[in-house]
Amino acid sequence: MIKTSGLTSPKERLIGNPTKSRRIIILMYDALIVGGGSAGMSCALVLGSAKPKAFAATKTIGIITHQKTSHLQTALFNNVLGLAPGTTGASILESGKEQLSNLYPHVAQIENEKVIEVSKSAHCFEVKTNKNTYQSKIVVIAVGYTNLITIKGLEQYIEPHPRAAIEKNRIWLKNADHLIDYNLYVAGTLAGWRSQFAIASGSGAHVATDILTLWNGGKDVKVHDKISE
Protein backbone atom coordinates (compact mmCIF):
# COMPACT_ATOMS: atom_id res chain seq x y z
CA MET A 1 0.00 0.00 0.00
CA ILE A 2 1.36 3.41 -0.98
CA LYS A 3 0.38 6.55 0.89
CA THR A 4 0.92 9.35 -1.61
CA SER A 5 -0.97 12.26 -0.10
CA GLY A 6 0.19 15.37 -1.92
CA LEU A 7 1.94 13.31 -4.61
CA THR A 8 0.65 12.54 -8.08
CA SER A 9 -0.49 8.92 -8.09
CA PRO A 10 2.10 6.82 -9.93
CA LYS A 11 1.16 5.07 -13.12
CA GLU A 12 1.57 1.33 -13.11
CA ARG A 13 1.43 -1.65 -15.42
CA LEU A 14 1.28 -5.40 -14.93
CA ILE A 15 4.10 -7.61 -16.14
CA GLY A 16 4.18 -11.36 -16.41
CA ASN A 17 1.32 -13.79 -15.94
CA PRO A 18 -1.85 -11.80 -15.07
CA THR A 19 -2.66 -14.29 -12.32
CA LYS A 20 0.83 -13.99 -10.84
CA SER A 21 1.67 -10.48 -11.90
CA ARG A 22 4.06 -7.93 -10.49
CA ARG A 23 3.32 -4.25 -10.73
CA ILE A 24 6.08 -1.89 -11.83
CA ILE A 25 5.66 1.68 -10.68
CA ILE A 26 6.44 3.98 -13.58
CA LEU A 27 6.94 7.01 -11.37
CA MET A 28 10.65 7.79 -11.07
CA TYR A 29 11.55 8.71 -7.51
CA ASP A 30 14.39 11.12 -6.97
CA ALA A 31 15.16 9.35 -3.68
CA LEU A 32 13.81 6.10 -2.27
CA ILE A 33 14.61 4.96 1.26
CA VAL A 34 14.54 1.29 2.18
CA GLY A 35 13.73 0.78 5.86
CA GLY A 36 11.44 2.49 8.35
CA GLY A 37 13.55 2.37 11.50
CA SER A 38 15.35 5.27 13.20
CA ALA A 39 17.83 5.90 10.35
CA GLY A 40 15.30 5.55 7.53
CA MET A 41 12.61 7.67 9.16
CA SER A 42 15.11 10.37 10.15
CA CYS A 43 16.37 10.49 6.57
CA ALA A 44 12.81 10.79 5.25
CA LEU A 45 11.88 13.54 7.72
CA VAL A 46 14.89 15.70 6.83
CA LEU A 47 14.39 15.21 3.09
CA GLY A 48 10.69 15.98 3.44
CA SER A 49 11.35 19.13 5.45
CA ALA A 50 13.36 20.64 2.58
CA LYS A 51 10.38 20.97 0.22
CA PRO A 52 10.13 24.79 0.67
CA LYS A 53 13.62 25.11 -0.80
CA ALA A 54 13.66 25.68 -4.55
CA PHE A 55 16.12 22.88 -5.29
CA ALA A 56 13.92 20.32 -3.50
CA ALA A 57 10.45 21.60 -4.35
CA THR A 58 9.78 19.18 -7.20
CA LYS A 59 11.71 16.17 -5.90
CA THR A 60 9.78 12.93 -5.46
CA ILE A 61 10.67 11.04 -2.29
CA GLY A 62 9.51 7.66 -1.03
CA ILE A 63 10.20 5.35 1.89
CA ILE A 64 9.50 1.64 2.12
CA THR A 65 8.53 1.44 5.78
CA HIS A 66 9.18 -2.24 6.45
CA GLN A 67 9.61 -2.41 10.24
CA LYS A 68 9.01 -6.02 11.30
CA THR A 69 12.70 -6.78 11.88
CA SER A 70 13.63 -3.38 13.35
CA HIS A 71 15.43 -3.58 16.69
CA LEU A 72 13.17 -0.75 17.80
CA GLN A 73 10.34 -3.26 18.13
CA THR A 74 11.74 -4.36 21.52
CA ALA A 75 13.62 -1.20 22.55
CA LEU A 76 13.06 0.85 25.70
CA PHE A 77 14.60 4.33 26.00
CA ASN A 78 15.67 6.07 29.18
CA ASN A 79 18.88 7.77 28.01
CA VAL A 80 17.86 9.62 24.83
CA LEU A 81 17.72 13.41 24.84
CA GLY A 82 14.21 14.63 24.05
CA LEU A 83 12.45 11.34 24.71
CA ALA A 84 10.55 10.82 27.94
CA PRO A 85 12.04 7.99 30.02
CA GLY A 86 10.16 4.79 29.36
CA THR A 87 9.45 5.57 25.70
CA THR A 88 9.28 2.36 23.68
CA GLY A 89 10.80 1.78 20.29
CA ALA A 90 7.51 0.34 19.03
CA SER A 91 5.75 3.61 19.81
CA ILE A 92 8.45 5.55 17.95
CA LEU A 93 7.96 3.40 14.87
CA GLU A 94 4.28 4.32 14.77
CA SER A 95 4.62 7.98 15.78
CA GLY A 96 7.40 8.44 13.23
CA LYS A 97 5.13 7.41 10.38
CA GLU A 98 2.40 9.72 11.69
CA GLN A 99 4.85 12.62 12.00
CA LEU A 100 6.05 12.10 8.44
CA SER A 101 2.50 11.87 7.12
CA ASN A 102 1.25 14.92 9.01
CA LEU A 103 4.18 17.25 8.35
CA TYR A 104 5.46 16.08 4.98
CA PRO A 105 2.62 14.27 3.16
CA HIS A 106 4.44 14.60 -0.16
CA VAL A 107 6.80 11.83 1.00
CA ALA A 108 5.22 8.56 -0.16
CA GLN A 109 5.08 5.87 2.51
CA ILE A 110 5.09 2.38 1.02
CA GLU A 111 3.75 -0.05 3.60
CA ASN A 112 3.46 -3.83 3.92
CA GLU A 113 6.18 -4.56 1.36
CA LYS A 114 9.59 -6.18 1.80
CA VAL A 115 12.51 -5.39 -0.49
CA ILE A 116 14.00 -8.45 -2.16
CA GLU A 117 16.37 -6.94 -4.74
CA VAL A 118 18.15 -3.71 -5.65
CA SER A 119 19.63 -3.47 -9.13
CA LYS A 120 21.18 -0.68 -11.18
CA SER A 121 20.37 0.18 -14.76
CA ALA A 122 21.89 2.82 -17.02
CA HIS A 123 19.90 5.71 -15.54
CA CYS A 124 18.44 4.59 -12.23
CA PHE A 125 17.98 1.86 -9.65
CA GLU A 126 15.20 -0.69 -9.62
CA VAL A 127 13.96 -1.74 -6.20
CA LYS A 128 11.91 -4.92 -6.21
CA THR A 129 9.66 -5.84 -3.32
CA ASN A 130 7.48 -8.88 -2.76
CA LYS A 131 4.67 -6.94 -4.46
CA ASN A 132 6.00 -4.19 -6.76
CA THR A 133 9.01 -2.79 -8.56
CA TYR A 134 10.03 0.85 -8.05
CA GLN A 135 12.53 3.06 -9.87
CA SER A 136 14.66 5.74 -8.24
CA LYS A 137 17.64 7.92 -9.08
CA ILE A 138 18.98 7.62 -5.52
CA VAL A 139 18.50 4.73 -3.08
CA VAL A 140 19.21 4.74 0.66
CA ILE A 141 19.53 1.36 2.40
CA ALA A 142 18.55 1.76 6.06
CA VAL A 143 17.65 -1.72 7.29
CA GLY A 144 19.10 -3.60 10.25
CA TYR A 145 22.64 -4.94 10.52
CA THR A 146 22.01 -8.62 11.18
CA ASN A 147 23.49 -11.26 8.93
CA LEU A 148 19.95 -12.21 7.93
CA ILE A 149 19.80 -9.44 5.31
CA THR A 150 18.48 -11.04 2.12
CA ILE A 151 18.35 -8.17 -0.37
CA LYS A 152 19.75 -9.43 -3.64
CA GLY A 153 22.24 -7.10 -5.31
CA LEU A 154 23.96 -6.00 -2.09
CA GLU A 155 26.02 -9.14 -1.49
CA GLN A 156 29.25 -7.68 -2.87
CA TYR A 157 29.24 -4.91 -0.24
CA ILE A 158 28.65 -7.08 2.86
CA GLU A 159 31.49 -7.34 5.39
CA PRO A 160 31.73 -8.08 9.13
CA HIS A 161 30.63 -5.08 11.19
CA PRO A 162 33.61 -3.01 12.41
CA ARG A 163 31.94 -1.79 15.63
CA ALA A 164 30.04 -4.83 16.90
CA ALA A 165 31.11 -7.84 18.96
CA ILE A 166 32.35 -10.62 16.67
CA GLU A 167 30.14 -13.23 18.35
CA LYS A 168 27.01 -11.26 17.40
CA ASN A 169 27.80 -11.82 13.72
CA ARG A 170 26.69 -8.34 12.63
CA ILE A 171 27.39 -6.94 9.17
CA TRP A 172 27.81 -3.62 7.40
CA LEU A 173 27.69 -2.49 3.81
CA LYS A 174 31.17 -1.22 3.02
CA ASN A 175 30.97 2.49 2.33
CA ALA A 176 32.85 5.77 2.39
CA ASP A 177 30.98 8.37 4.46
CA HIS A 178 27.66 6.53 3.86
CA LEU A 179 28.19 6.24 0.11
CA ILE A 180 28.35 2.64 -1.15
CA ASP A 181 28.40 3.42 -4.84
CA TYR A 182 27.28 6.26 -7.08
CA ASN A 183 23.84 7.38 -5.78
CA LEU A 184 23.60 4.34 -3.49
CA TYR A 185 23.73 5.22 0.21
CA VAL A 186 23.54 3.30 3.47
CA ALA A 187 22.45 4.69 6.84
CA GLY A 188 22.30 3.57 10.46
CA THR A 189 23.91 0.50 11.97
CA LEU A 190 24.26 -1.07 8.51
CA ALA A 191 26.59 1.83 7.65
CA GLY A 192 29.02 0.62 10.30
CA TRP A 193 27.79 2.64 13.29
CA ARG A 194 27.11 1.29 16.77
CA SER A 195 23.59 0.27 17.66
CA GLN A 196 22.58 3.40 19.55
CA PHE A 197 19.32 5.20 18.75
CA ALA A 198 20.79 8.70 18.59
CA ILE A 199 23.68 7.53 16.41
CA ALA A 200 21.42 5.72 13.94
CA SER A 201 19.04 8.68 13.73
CA GLY A 202 21.93 11.06 13.15
CA SER A 203 23.28 8.81 10.43
CA GLY A 204 19.95 9.00 8.58
CA ALA A 205 19.90 12.79 8.91
CA HIS A 206 23.51 12.93 7.69
CA VAL A 207 22.61 11.03 4.53
CA ALA A 208 19.60 13.28 3.95
CA THR A 209 21.72 16.43 4.11
CA ASP A 210 24.25 14.85 1.73
CA ILE A 211 21.44 14.21 -0.76
CA LEU A 212 20.08 17.73 -0.33
CA THR A 213 23.58 19.10 -0.89
CA LEU A 214 23.77 17.07 -4.10
CA TRP A 215 20.41 18.47 -5.24
CA ASN A 216 21.66 21.96 -4.40
CA GLY A 217 24.53 21.71 -6.84
CA GLY A 218 27.13 20.82 -4.22
CA LYS A 219 26.39 23.75 -1.89
CA ASP A 220 26.12 22.51 1.70
CA VAL A 221 22.59 22.23 3.07
CA LYS A 222 21.04 21.89 6.50
CA VAL A 223 17.36 22.31 7.34
CA HIS A 224 16.39 24.08 10.57
CA ASP A 225 13.03 25.29 11.82
CA LYS A 226 12.93 28.32 14.11
CA ILE A 227 10.40 29.81 16.50
CA SER A 228 8.87 32.94 14.99
CA GLU A 229 9.71 36.07 16.90
Average pLDDT over residues 139-157: 91
Contact 208, 42 (CB under 8 A): yes
Average pLDDT over residues 1-10: 50
Span 199-228, pLDDT tens digits: 999 999 999 999 999 999 999 999 999 898
Give me the residues paired with residue 25 across strands.
12
Q: Which amino acid is present at 182?
A: Y
The superfamily (CATH) of domain 2-6+22-215 is FAD/NAD(P)-binding domain (3.50.50.60)
Tell me the pLDDT of the chain averaged across its residues. 90
Give me the residues paired with residue 140 across strands.
33, 185
CA dist 74 → 57, 88, 143 (Å): 37, 7, 16
Contact 144, 190 (CB under 8 A): yes
Span 30-47, pLDDT tens digits: 999 999 999 999 999 999
CA distance 25 to 120: 16
pLDDT of the residue at 147:
73
pLDDT of the residue at 204:
98
How many residues does the structure list for the chain? 229
CA dist 152 → 34, 94, 158 (Å): 13, 28, 11
Where is mean pLDDT largest: 14-28, 40-54, 59-73? Answer: 40-54
pLDDT of the residue at 70:
82
Contact 204, 188 (CB under 8 A): yes
Of 213, 220, 223, 224, nearest to 31 (Cα)? 213
Of 127, 108, 131, 105, nearest to 117 (Cα)? 127
Residue 136: pLDDT band by 50, 70, 90 thresholds? very high
CA distance 20 to 15: 9
Is the pLDDT score of 139 beyond 60?
A: yes
Helices (H), 13-142: 38-49, 89-103
